[in-house]
Amino acid sequence: MTILRISWRNLWRNPRRTGITVFSMSFGLTMMIVAYALMDGMYGQMVQFATVLGTGHIQIHKPGYLDNRSLYETIDKPEAVLRVVDSANEGWAAPRSYATALVSSGPQSAGGYIWGIDPSRERRVTDFQHHLESGVFLSEGGRGKVVLGHNLAKTLSVGPGDEVVLLAQAADGSLGNAIYTVSGVLQSIGETIDRTGVLMDIRDMDDLMVLHGKIHEVAVRLARPDRLAEALSRFKTLMAPMGLEVKSWRELLPGLSEVLKLSSTSTTIVLFIIFAVASLGIVNTQLMALFERTREIGVMRALGLGPIPVAAIVFLETIFMTIISAVAGGVGGALWSWYLEVYGWDISNFGGSFAYAGVTFDPHLHASLTLTAVVQSVEIMLVVSMLATIYPLFKAARITPATAVGRGR
């Protein structure tokens, strides 16, 4: 108890120095928590954009379809698949068909990638309807219309109300061609769909490509994305009797999945290094305090206090500063992260929309504050603080009455 009192009182013998050290540690912890929250928010936003503006959380295909995306690798009984997925009550499902085509308007033409979708089901799986630059999205009764990708519409110099011609080789070997009215133009949401995307009613797609009701994919949006592993396992079990393949977005977007894993690790390492640099203040504070109290420590040693209690005093001083910094920095980081989670951070002034790992995302970043981010940040600060106090601790333990008196002259 005496050592605790001495350590606590020593902190406030020079309140200015202690205050500066505590402030630097608290500020470092605050920035670390905010950085974690922003990175978690950005990664979550990337996954959100990749899944609700494209893949969905889970996809179902005929085995081998993803290897070459052949027009002929189809799901022959889509109604049965949709019934099974719907009955699982894991989320929402939408059928899709795909094909390549030549899209033209007047003298302009470009390669297009057609998405045949069920407008009513697709609205529950993806958020295309909320990312229109102009016009309106496809409606259930709106046959003969298409929604174009941002760059494709620019290339063709078309907008809502204009007509485009689609030319493609159908599944029966014939040459499918038809005229469609542009219903809307998407915002920039991803490189591929921006450049080639053509969304049309799946019934129009069936007529154009002569698919006879067959589809290529069932995309699933989970009601609980955090249950991805459980839902994936369940759908694999349900689809096995039908001979269909089930994959999660992590398998469909391996590049994004790897980026998220590596980025999480690298973020921790970088923040650890930053805090390690900041911890030099702890070393400096303790060494200065030791220099000022060398004679005092020598007297305590002369009165019989051993090296371990002396080292314990220095260690406890660091513990006290770390606790104060953890409380102040934790509260500050949590409040700042909460603000960024609610109101976001608009970084559009730095260059409009952003793309990372092939995914375009909204430049209005929102933090995602989690208990894990706070705990990990405090743990890093604690580890670095303990490492930073090792040298001053040994210096204090090695002070003898003779060296203390000699230095005090």
Last residue of a domain, one of 214, 243, 272: 243
Q: Tell me the per-residue pLDDT of 320-362, one tens digit each, with 9 for 90 and over.
A: 888 999 999 999 999 999 999 988 887 766 655 566 555 666 6
Q: Tell me the per-residue pLDDT of 87-98, one tens digit each, with 9 for 90 and over.
A: 999 999 999 999
Q: Tell me the per-residue pLDDT of 391-403, one tens digit each, with 9 for 90 and over.
A: 877 777 777 777 6
Note the pTM of the prediction, 2 decimals.
0.73
| DSSP secondary structure string for all residues of 109-143 | EEEEEEEEE-HHHHHHH--GGG-EEEE----TT-T
* Same domain for 145 and 30: no
* Residue 57 within any structural domain of the chain: no
* Dihedral (Cα; 272, 274, 277, 279), 10-degree rounding: -60
Last residue of a domain, one of 243, 273, 299: 243
The structural domain count of the chain equals 2
The mean pLDDT of the chain is 86
* Same domain for 403 and 271: yes
* Residue 180 within any structural domain of the chain: yes
* Same domain for 72 and 134: yes
* Residue 248 within any structural domain of the chain: no
* Same domain for 289 and 212: no
Contact by Cβ (8 Å): 382, 326: yes
Contact by Cβ (8 Å): 158, 182: yes
* Same domain for 232 and 96: yes
Range of the domain at 294: 2-50+257-408
* Same domain for 133 and 210: yes
* Same domain for 117 and 168: yes
* Same domain for 138 and 9: no
* Same domain for 238 and 167: yes
- Write down the H helix ranges in 223-293: 228-239, 249-252, 254-278, 280-292
* Same domain for 70 and 126: yes
* Same domain for 178 and 73: yes
* Residue 345 within any structural domain of the chain: yes
* Residue 147 within any structural domain of the chain: yes
* Same domain for 157 and 46: no
| Of the candidates 196, 225, 216, 277, the residue with the CA atom closest to the CA atom of residue 28 | 277
* Residue 41 within any structural domain of the chain: yes
Confidence of residue 19 (pLDDT cuts 50, 70, 90): confident
Last residue of a domain, one of 243, 268, 294: 243
Q: What is the mean pLDDT of residues 366-394?
A: 83
Q: Which residue has the higher pLDDT, 391 or 101?
A: 101
